[in-house]
Structure 1
Amino acid sequence: MSADPITSVASPAVDHRPAVTVLSGFSAGAVQAATRALLVADDSLVAIRHDLTGLRHGLVGRTVETAAAVLEHTAVDLAHGCVSCTLREDVLPTLVRLARERPGRDLLLALPPAVEPETVASACAHTLVDGAPVTGSVRFDSYVAVVDADRFLDDLASPDDLRDRGLHAADDDHRAVAEVVAHQVEFSDTVILWSRPGTDALELDRLDALVHRLAPWAVRVPTGTAPSLDCTGLAARVRRTGRHDPRRPGVLGLALEGRPIAVHDPDGGHGVTSIAFDARRPFHPRRLHDALEELTEHALRGRGQLWIASQPDVAVAFEFAGGGVSLGSLGYWLAALPAGRWTETSDDRRLAADLDWDPYYGDRRTALALIGLHLDHDAVTALLHRCLLTDAELADGFDTWHDLDDPFADCFPLTGDD
């Protein structure tokens, strides 16, 4: 009688690359406090932070530290004073260098207030260090936003630009405070709700609801209002979670890849309202343009993709934050491209288009979210429906839509490479 053959099962490969946790947040004090708490919880953790106050003059300060000591405190001269240059020339090379010098020790990258985490992720995807990808030396475990409970809502509702606060990274940096604050939360995998013993409990509940509407895909970690903080417990919920998905696009690209851009909650717990609007028929350009101010009047945040009848080739990106509306191009709709160029897009986008393809519109669709306090769902959706083409206008067909009155004409140029 023969014995059963022994089946060899290969063990999964062990990833020895240091795990990088990226902390962002508009409150420098809250980010620094969270950094210190995570260092206290693990004396082997190495933190890197940069001071960009001299960036416009080509000077950047770099500090590398553990819970016990400051390992480096260096001034770095840059040929060009900009955030992307800082990332390429110092931040990412420093991560790679520390991974080599201190193998087996995880890294914590604490970003300055005006730096958006998506900028870091983009730089990682396109930057080589010593001729090799950054991810060959480190793995990005999680992007963590630190939200200061005492000031987050004020910053999200603020009409200020970074320049008003002296935080602009360059002379041509015209970003709004609210835009940066929203982007930091929306790109995160984890959000720390940083509060203090005196923070009002009802305000904390409202903050939790608001952050959930801004980033329903993120795990929320409250620090509570006890006199002391459980640093070890915080670290267990924040570090080595494996939450970051490098394939997840930025928030404006979510709908193109079939991912939800918001939670539809028109009633809104704690007064926080989230309205998700979806439509297959296009917007009339003039009616949409004239409605934008009323549409966003009471919102804190708006985001999504639009399709406008007079420009049927381009997927239009929509953003609202800090009182300003921003429209831009997300490139061609697949329906406007020859099939041979579809492979230039991601697998997820092609799959989403296949699953939701319309015989007349193709993959063209509007997916829009508005988030705020006590938004009037019925009034907002009624206004959006009035901006869509009527049945009679639809019946006129694609060939006539180019002639519609279009205040957005020439705003979204497309090239063969888009």
Structure 2
Amino acid sequence: MNKIPATVITGFLGAGKTTLIRHLIENAGGRRLALIINEFGDVGVDGALVKGCGDDACPEEDIIELANGCICCTVADDFLPTMQRLLDRPTPPDHIIIETSGLALPKPLVKAFQWPDIRTRATVDGVIALIDADALAAGRFAHDEEALAAARAADPTLDHDSPIEELFEDQLACADLVLLNKTDLVDADTLATLEQDLAGEIRPGVRIIRTARGQIDPAILLGLDAGVENQIDARPSHHDDEDDHDHDDFESFIVDLGVLGNPEPLLAALTQATAAHDILRVKGFVAVAGRPARLVIQAVGPRIQHHYDRPWQANEQRTSRLVVIGQHGLDRAAIEAALGAQTVAA
């Protein structure tokens, strides 16, 4: 019996995973796709963005959200039952796409495909690691080596890798294909340097492909036939010797803002708060008075983007909610005050 292929799309916060998935849906080529979307935080922003595309290749009932934490930590409780329900359908999907949280380790997820109820019916076709070229060029995934050397001289017990650096390296180590995304934000010389550096972090034979806005032929991603679950032990990670993996190094919370009369003060406040508090990621929807469409806000480090995507639906509450993600120790009260003080109720 043929196994249903599953593609795992991993990548750090804001790499463009959801944009890539929307592109895959819009160019499915007749495949019936099912999506499992995981988010670090309690608001399903990515799932809501994908559902908004309304494509027949992936109807809303085939988009499953796991928004209760990191998928690599909830495999038994959430992921396995979800997979079983998909596989037990009278007409199962042709291909399953799994978008992990930007803070997830792909390896525990791949190992779940060794589970007896899964391994005979599904296989990991490939692990795709998406990299934000602009963020990588800015050094957001690695230590400043000179500063690190000075710190280690002062304290020889200092760990080499930061939580972000370890996570980034683990996602690369598990990849069958690396997409260097957002290349439109980086010049050609910088891209060449990034590719050279990445080549030292990935396994031999793993390709690096440049993309902008997640635009790539789906045939390149779907159909790798890697059978990753059968060779996962050959892909080492920083967390192989750990019985449990958790995300105590990171935290998230929700900022509720109501309806805004003008989003510009919020965007300005968000720019200042991101810099002041070293916020990694902000995403969410904003309700603007007099505007029928919801405003999508996507912030990755200091880079903040926003656009109106679709009208608010009749059954939706028109309100503004942002998910804020950063390393442990965020000053929630100060961030909420900074953002809330700038809102103007309609």
TM-score (norm 1): 0.44
Distance 1:110 1:117 in 2: 10
Corresponding position: 1:114 with 2:97 = no
Deviation, 1:29, is 4.7
> Do the aligned partners of 2:182 and 2:211 also contact (CA within 8 Å) in 1?
yes
> Do the aligned partners of 1:148 and 1:195 also contact (CA within 8 Å) in 2?
yes
Letter in 1 for 2:142: A
Write out aligned runs for 1:19-418 (5 A): 19-42=5-28, 44-54=32-42, 67-68=55-56, 69-71=59-61, 83-84=71-72, 86-101=74-89, 102-125=91-114, 127=115, 132-153=116-137, 154-158=139-143, 176-224=163-211, 231=216, 233=217, 235-245=218-228, 246-252=230-236
Tell me the number of residue pairs that the alignment of Structure 1 and Structure 2 aligns: 216
> Do the aligned partners of 1:17 and 1:137 also contact (CA within 8 Å) in 2?
yes
Identity value in percent:
19
Bigger Cα displacement from structure 2, 68-77 vs 27-36:
68-77
Relative distance call for 1:23 and 1:72 in structure 2 (3 A) is same
Deviation, 1:28, is 3.2
Letter in 1 for 2:76: R
Letter in 2 for 1:152: L
> Do the aligned partners of 1:49 and 1:109 also contact (CA within 8 Å) in 2?
yes
Deviation, 1:100, is 2.7
Distance 2:41 2:168 in 1: 19
Per-residue displacement from partner, 1:350-392 (whole Å, max 9, x unpaired)?
xxxxxxxxxxxxxxxxxxxxxxxxxxxxxxxxxxxxxxxxxxx
Distance 1:184 1:29 in 2: 12
1:24 alignment partner, SS class: strand
Distance 2:210 2:46 in 1: 29
Relative distance call for 1:62 and 1:93 in structure 2 (3 A) is farther
Q: Tell which structure's C-alpha radius of gyration is larger.
A: 1
Distance 1:151 1:41 in 2: 27
> Do the aligned partners of 2:134 and 2:186 also contact (CA within 8 Å) in 1?
yes
Deviation, 1:121, is 1.9
RMSD: 3.8
> Do the aligned partners of 1:24 and 1:115 also contact (CA within 8 Å) in 2?
yes
Per-residue displacement from partner, 1:32-53 (whole Å, max 9, x unpaired)?
1221122222152222102231
Per-residue displacement from partner, 1:104-161 (whole Å, max 9, x unpaired)?
5211000001111112123333x4xxxx4311221111011111111125232148xx
Relative distance call for 1:215 and 1:60 in structure 2 (3 A) is same
> Do the aligned partners of 1:208 and 1:220 also contact (CA within 8 Å) in 2?
no
Distance 1:152 1:109 in 2: 23
Distance 2:196 2:8 in 1: 23
Distance 1:28 1:110 in 2: 12
Letter in 2 for 1:247: Q
2:204 alignment partner, SS class: coil
TM-score (norm 2): 0.53
Letter in 2 for 1:205: A
Relative distance call for 1:223 and 1:41 in structure 2 (3 A) is farther
> Do the aligned partners of 2:72 and 2:105 also contact (CA within 8 Å) in 1?
no
Q: Is there any run of 5+ residues in structure 1 with no aligned partner, and where? A: 1-14, 160-173, 254-302, 304-315, 318-418
Deviation, 1:210, is 1.7
Letter in 2 for 1:28: G
Q: Is there any run of 5+ residues in structure 2 with no aligned partner, and where? A: 145-160, 243-346
Deviation, 1:95, is 2.1
